Amino acid sequence: MRLGVIAVLVLTTVALLLMSSVLVKVYAQTPQSEQSKPIKCQTGALIGYGGTIFGLADVCTNGNLIDVDITTNYIPQPGKVFEAWLVDDFSKGSDYALSMGKILNSGGLRFQEVMNNATTYTDIVVTQEPTGDLSPLPSWSNALAQTWLLPPFGQ
């Protein structure tokens, strides 16, 4: 167990280092009006059933640019994949879920996007989906972990 926690911390550190260089590249390609907005970052544990730490999610945004890095030590069941979602508040928002894609077998996912309003999202949820699933919707009954995004998210 201790080795797993150390591995998650090492993966998180590496992800943060890689994320900083990517943000510089994205920043350089961004229009001047969006560059002036401050970038805010947060790291949250992806909490699963019974309080189990499924992994970590590092999220940075300036309101329009969003950069998400997810790391986990878990692997999906045979014939399944882990898929990560940005979700607009289940109770007060639209309940819209945007797929960030499949978490690789190496345990990592990187999602970068320029959006009109990246801070509308309030949660990151990880589900386990069938390999080759054609449905664009999350399988909520197979949700494994979640982290809540702090302000400026949820705006």
Predicted confidence at residue 81, as pLDDT, reads 97
Phi, psi at 141, each rounded to 5°:
-70, -15
Whether the predicted model's global pTM rises above the 0.85 cut: no
Q: Measured on CA atoms in the order 47, 48, 53, 55, is the torsion positive or negative?
A: negative
Q: Measured on CA atoms in the order 66, 55, 16, 42, is the torsion positive or negative?
A: positive
- pLDDT score of 134 more than 60: yes
Chosen CATH of 2-148 out of 1.10.3470, 3.40.50, 2.60.40, 1.10.1760: 2.60.40
- pLDDT score of 1 more than 60: no
Q: Which two tokens stand for residue 55?
A: 């992994």
CA distances from 4 to 13, 71, 73, 131 (A): 14, 12, 7, 26
Predicted confidence at residue 89, as pLDDT, reads 79
Burial of 130 (0-12, 13-18, 19+ CB in 10 A): middle
SS3 content of the chain, % helix, strand, coil (to 5): 25, 40, 35
Predicted confidence at residue 155, as pLDDT, reads 72
Residue 29, amino acid: Q
List pLDDT tens digits, range 71-106.
Answer: 999 999 999 999 999 999 766 778 899 999 999 999
Domain boundaries, given as residue ranges, for the chain: 2-148
Determine contact, residues 122/89, Cβ cutoff 8 Å: yes
List pLDDT tens digits, range 19-75.
Answer: 444 444 454 555 555 556 789 999 999 999 999 999 999 999 999 999 999 999 999
